[in-house]
Amino acid sequence: MANVAAVPSQGQILVDIEDMSMLKDIKRAIGLMRGVGKITVPRRRRMSSYERSLRDLDEGRVYEYDSLDDLIKEIEG
C-alpha cells in the first residue's frame, strides 16, 4: 500500500531582499502569481539605544581613551 501525504492548503515563502527600493515592484510581481493570497512585509522593530550600543561593540565601533582629557583633545582635533 502506498503512503499518500496530504497536500497542505497553505504555505509560506520567505524572500530576502537586498535592495529595499525594489520592494514595491517585488510585491506587485508576486501578487500577480496565481494562488498568492496575501503578501505581508514585517516591520522592523526599532532598536533601543542599549541594543544599538551592543551591536556597536560586536562590530568593533568602540573607541577607548585613557582619560576624559584625551577624549576632549580628540574631539577638538
pLDDT tens, residue by residue, 18-33: 998 998 999 999 889 8
Within-domain flag for 68: yes
- Helix ranges restricted to H, the chain: 23-31, 49-58, 68-76
Query: How far from 56 is each of 19, 32, 52, 59, CA to CA, in Å?
Result: 23, 41, 6, 5
Checking if the pLDDT of 43 tops 90, the result is no
pLDDT tens, residue by residue, 3-20: 666 666 778 888 888 998
pLDDT score for 7: 62
What's the CA gap between 18 and 57, in Å, rounded?
A: 24
pLDDT score for 51: 94
Within-domain flag for 19: no
Of residues 1 and 32, more confidence is placed in 32
Within-domain flag for 28: no
What's the CA gap between 12 and 18, in Å, rounded?
A: 19
> For the chain, what is the mean pLDDT?
86
**Structural domains in the chain (count):** 1
Within-domain flag for 76: yes
